[in-house]
Amino acid sequence: MSTQVSAKPRVAVLFGGRSSEHAISCVTAAGVLAAIDRERYEVVPVGITRSGRWVLVPDDPSLFALADGKLPEVPSAGTRVALVQEGPEGAAPGAQASEGALRALDEPPSGVAALQRVDVVLPLLHGPFGEDGTLQGLLELSDTRYVGSGVLASAAGMDKQVMKVLLQGAGLRVGPWTSFRAARWAADEAACRAEVDALGYPVFVKPARAGSSIGISRVDAPEHLAAAVAAAAAHDPKVVVEAAVPGREVECGVLEDPEGGEPLTSVPGEVEVVGGHDFYDFEAKYLDSANVRLTCPADLPADVEAAVRRTAARVFEAMGAEGLARVDLFVDPARGEDGVVVNEINTMPGFTPHSMFPRAWAASGLDYPQLVDHLLQLALRRPTGLR
């Protein structure tokens, strides 16, 4: 990509992907596509099918919205595209590429001309092969600007075990946990069980590198542990087991400051499961809103809200995040700041108009279109190359 940005920047909105969160990525894209100001930006929607094919898709948000409980999917039909790099002949390693582009692989030739230049990619993929640093590495190699965290923060934020180690190393409170691989469970189940027993029940068993509560189980007694480990390992050979943390579940949005100052934080929002589910699982998040209450701003004492926002900003910086993130925490207001415990960071949070991240920012004075514009402008300011 050239260092010059078009007068009307061309934005490739990239979504779908190979992970189990494919449908949620599509729903996120539907919201973002509906919000981008077409007077300011030229939009090129690019879907990634479940098999990994990149295709041009219609610029129609309704095709990818969640409707009547039906999860959307990127269709395999359409002009195939690929991200390529074109640098100057004989350039030294690390030299600025002259152009990063999405190039059509199929006819018609007009598709090639339409995509000869992309100023910035807005990657809306959730989970592995998109949110975990893999896509970010591809974009870095092609010298293409993009929204969000770089390779390291994306990879570390995706891996719950690595994330917890980093947060603890930065002096942040996280709940008691343990982690093991499925192969270790198979070879020495007794030792793994002993580690889990030490946490006390109930526990939550999770794939280390997945999101949207996919593959997560609440386990109230040892006899149900094996089934939960198997369910998590079906999504990731690395399993994380967390002790249940008492308190209320709150989420706080974080944005990078365009001027390079301290991270900006939203008012916190609260998630409450009011019926039908043992915890905030996939069904509760996306398919059964009647049994979930999202309150924004959360009703917290002023000192506790301030502690939540400070902690969220510290998490963002400790992970080396960029652009945006949502930090999930547990809060016991009776304990003040000592009752704030970090659950996790999400470097590409759910971004539908009804998701907590945009709702929290709307409650903080930044509406959905303004939020999308903020992120695009951050990315367009950023130089290409090593971040």
Which DSSP symbol is given to 278?
S
Q: Residue 384: what pLDDT? A: 67
Average pLDDT of span 5-22 = 89
Q: What is the mean pLDDT of the chain?
A: 86
Q: Residue 85: what pLDDT? A: 60
Residue 11 — φ and ψ, nearest 5°? -110, 120
Residue 126: both structure tokens together: 């959730």
More confident residue, 195 or 18: 195
CATH topology of domain 10-148: Rossmann fold (3.40.50)
**Nearest CA-CA partner of 119 in 139, 91, 100, 142:** 100
pLDDT in tens, 20-39: 889 889 999 999 999 999 99
CA torsion angle 33 37 41 44 (round to 10): 20
Is the pLDDT at 3 greater than 70, yes or no? no
Q: Output the CA–CA distances (angstroms, integers) from residue 375 to 56, 57, 145, in the order listed.
A: 23, 22, 12
Q: Residue 204: what pLDDT? A: 95
CA–CA gap between residue 115 and residue 46 (Å, rounded): 11
Q: Is the domain covering 177-243 a CATH 3.30.1490.20 domain?
A: yes
pTM of the model: 0.86
Q: Residue 292: what pLDDT? A: 62
CA torsion angle 268 270 271 274 (round to 10): -170
Q: Residue 344: what pLDDT? A: 95
Q: Where along the chain do its domains lie?
A: 10-148, 157-174+245-347, 177-243
Report the range of poorest mean pLDDT among 24-28, 112-116, 241-245: 112-116
Is the pLDDT at 12 greater than 50, yes or no? yes
Contacts of 384 (CB under 8 A, 6+ apart): 1, 3, 96, 97, 100, 143, 144, 145
Report the range of poorest mean pLDDT among 306-310, 320-324, 334-338, 343-347: 334-338
The domain 157-174+245-347 belongs to what CATH superfamily? ATP-grasp fold, B domain (3.30.470.20)
Q: Residue 21: what pLDDT? A: 84
